[in-house]
Amino acid sequence: MDSGEKITLLGGGSPFVPSLIYVMLENREVLEGSEVCLMDIDPTRLPLLTKLGEEFSRRANVKMKFTWTTNPKEALE
């Protein structure tokens, strides 16, 4: 089932994000096909956490798209 929903994690550079991604991947039947947008005002960790999400998703064989931004309006579109 492809939900096609966009899930935005405000504070997406947080050390808690990998755990949140893991939980989302465990709920594949509901969230597969979703976009996960990591948003934080500090972009330092966002590219790394985005790549981590992509790798977790690949290993779990769950189709999810990971993006990042520092723009709150873009994150919530």
Report the CATH number that the domain containing residue 15 is assigned in CATH.
Answer: 3.40.50.720
- Flag whether 53 is in a domain: yes
Q: 10 Å Cβ neighbour count for 51? A: 12
Q: pLDDT digits over 61-74, tens only? A: 999 999 999 999 99
Distance of alpha carbon 8 from alpha carbon 37, whole angstroms: 5
- Flag whether 16 is in a domain: yes
Distance of alpha carbon 4 from alpha carbon 19, whole angstroms: 22
- Flag whether 1 is in a domain: no
Residue 2 scores a pLDDT above 80: no
pTM above 0.85, yes or no: yes
- Flag whether 22 is in a domain: yes
Domain that holds residue 38: 6-75
- Flag whether 66 is in a domain: yes
Structure tokens at 50: 């985005």
Structure tokens at 16: 């808690």
Strands 6-10 and 35-39: parallel
- Flag whether 15 is in a domain: yes
Cα 2 to Cα 13, 41, 49: the distances in Å are: 26, 30, 23
Count of the separate structural domains present in the chain: 1
